[in-house]
Structure 1
Amino acid sequence: MTRKTGTLYGIGVGPGDPELITLKALRILEQTPHIYASTSSKNTYSLALNIVRSHLHEAKVEQLPFPMTREPEVLQEAWEKNARRVLEVLTTGSDAAFITIGDPLTFSTFGYLLKTIKDFEPTIRVITIPGITSYHAAAALIHTPVSEGEESFLVVSGALGAAKLREALSVTDTIILLKTYRHIDEILVSLEEMGLTDRAVCISRCGLEGETVVQDIRSLKGQSLPYLSMMVIKKKGKYF
């Protein structure tokens, strides 16, 4: 007889505020015996784990290290090692959950882990619980619609600077630029060249201690921004 495998839950726990987690996510966490959270291979800090820590009871929490690198071979080795670790639990018939900030299928470690697990064991049952994204929380904080009527918006990573910014703004009405912390000066120059400096707001650590909203983004030049920083850039409309 083939042993029944457990279910893998990918759970988005929201952008940072512990109250911005869904009832469904809480219910799954309360009944799942094995919970995994990603950390950098250089430390053991996990924002996702901090968010849900007060909601956890008897669950076993294990942190999976992922290197902060762009080297494909190093990353692949980490995905495979961590996927096998999760599969060790699932193949015993026990359920497991992987928690991630924001939404588990939007710029998330879970997407890579899921693909690798499926490559190893295509029949593994997976249930994904969506979470509130950082940019929706930021829009709520600044009381600004992400889009209205026939408007469109794009979510773009700023991890490599302003490389995609000009192209993105040519085809949409609003840009959500994530991960602005590393190349803020380059981004500021691009926005100035496009005449959009006064159409952008920078939000850092949304929903967390140290939360800031900067409307005069010129003041950010030369500054060191927190890792959790983003910009909302609107070509039309207004901020409230």
Structure 2
Amino acid sequence: MQNGILYGIGVGPGDTGLITLAAVKALSEVDVVFAPASTKNDFSVALDIIRPHLREDVEIRRLDFPMTRDDAVRTAARGRNAEAVLECLHGGRHAAFITLGDPLIYSTFGHLLRELRARDGLAEVRIIPGITSFQAAAARLEQTLVEGDESLVVATGNSDLDRLAKLLDAADAAVVLKPAKRFPALKAALQERGLADRARLIERCGLDGEAVYENLDQVPEKLSYFSLLHVARKGA
């Protein structure tokens, strides 16, 4: 029996119209969909995006990725998830692992891929890139990210603040994903560098409840997980 194929699929930033044709085609061919989720939350925006493109007989399986700093817990969970995917592939079934945005940018797919390769280096994997949240946000803001020889930093709000500050100092433009938990500190860092006037925050881009904050002082204390900071090019 021939083994199945695993498709690592980026389904876009949230807007159902921003899933690619390649992703739609692959989803129409799979037998199983693996949907990653935090053990604290079983809601899957990615799953909602792909439902219209699935066959009625497709099996949907949740894979838990614990939101913890305990390396032992995370490693054990990643190993279990890789085994679940390989069991499916070795049974001759094609599968998709879906992620918001792109599967190779701040995604759980990278962890799964490493674990899978460690167990079966011959497993067939096809990766389908997706439109990222910062690309969608730039389009929403009508803001060119970079031009010519300019540099763009893509960072996470979970980064060490000193390291992030150095990146902001060096780059011509920046996007900071997942800023919600540390927004006050990020805002202060931008203000200290005279970048606050070039920064805008967009919340739930392309989703219900979308909001754009042109002034960081207007950003509410409670922010959606689906938020990002955009620091525009000088003079933009």
Secondary structure of the 1:118 match is helix
Secondary structure of the 2:180 match is coil
Q: Percent identity?
A: 43
1:40 deviation in Å?
1.2
Higher helix share: 2
Tell which deviates more after alignment, 80-89 or 55-64.
55-64
Paired AA for residue 132 in structure 1: I
Secondary structure of the 1:44 match is coil
1:160 deviation in Å?
4.2
Report the Cα distance in structure 1 between the residues aligned to 2:26 and 2:233, rounded to whole angstroms. 40
Structure 1 position 94 matched with structure 2 position 90:
no
Structure 1 position 75 matched with structure 2 position 74:
yes
Partner residue, 1:107: 106
8 Å Cα contact 1:159/1:183 also seen in 2: yes
Paired AA for residue 185 in structure 1: P
Paired AA for residue 148 in structure 1: E
- In the alignment, which of 11, 22, 38 is matched to residue 13 of structure 1? 11
Secondary structure of the 1:8 match is strand
Secondary structure of the 2:181 match is coil
Unaligned runs of 5+ in 2: none
Structure 1 position 234 matched with structure 2 position 235:
no
Secondary structure of the 2:40 match is coil
8 Å Cα contact 1:161/1:186 also seen in 2: no
Report the Cα distance in structure 2 between the residues aligned to 1:127 and 1:83, rounded to whole angstroms. 16
Question: Structure 1 residues 161 and 181, CA, compared in 2 at 3 Å: closer, same or farther?
Answer: farther
Aligned-residue CA RMSD in angstroms?
A: 1.3
Secondary structure of the 1:182 match is helix
Report the Cα distance in structure 1 between the residues aligned to 2:184 and 2:162, rounded to whole angstroms. 13
Report the Cα distance in structure 2 between the residues aligned to 1:21 and 1:148, rounded to whole angstroms. 26
Partner residue, 1:144: 143
Could you list the per-position Cα deviations for residues 53-90 of structure 1 after superposition, in whole angstroms to 9, with x for gaps in the alignment? 22222211111111111211110000000110011100
Structure 1 position 53 matched with structure 2 position 51:
yes
Report the Cα distance in structure 2 between the residues aligned to 1:146 and 1:70, rounded to whole angstroms. 32
Could you list the per-position Cα deviations for residues 172-213 of structure 1 after superposition, in whole angstroms to 9, with x for gaps in the alignment? 101110110001111111111111110101011011000111
Aligned pairs for 1:213-228 (under 5 A) are 213-220=212-219, 223-228=221-226
Unaligned runs of 5+ in 1: none
Report the Cα distance in structure 1 between the residues aligned to 2:162 and 2:6, rounded to whole angstroms. 36
Report the Cα distance in structure 1 between the residues aligned to 2:41 and 2:15, rounded to whole angstroms. 22
TM-score between the two structures when normalised by the length of structure 2? 0.96
Partner residue, 1:192: 191
Partner residue, 1:173: 172
Partner residue, 1:132: 131
8 Å Cα contact 2:3/2:89 also seen in 1: yes
Q: Where do 4+ consecutive residues of structure 1 move more than 6 Å?
A: none
1:235 deviation in Å?
4.5
Q: How many residues align?
A: 235
8 Å Cα contact 2:146/2:233 also seen in 1: no
Report the Cα distance in structure 1 between the residues aligned to 2:227 and 2:112, rounded to whole angstroms. 24
Secondary structure of the 1:31 match is coil
8 Å Cα contact 1:98/1:110 also seen in 2: yes
Aligned pairs for 1:29-40 (under 5 A) are 29-40=27-38
8 Å Cα contact 2:29/2:94 also seen in 1: no
Report the Cα distance in structure 2 between the residues aligned to 1:137 and 1:237, rounded to whole angstroms. 21
Secondary structure of the 1:187 match is helix
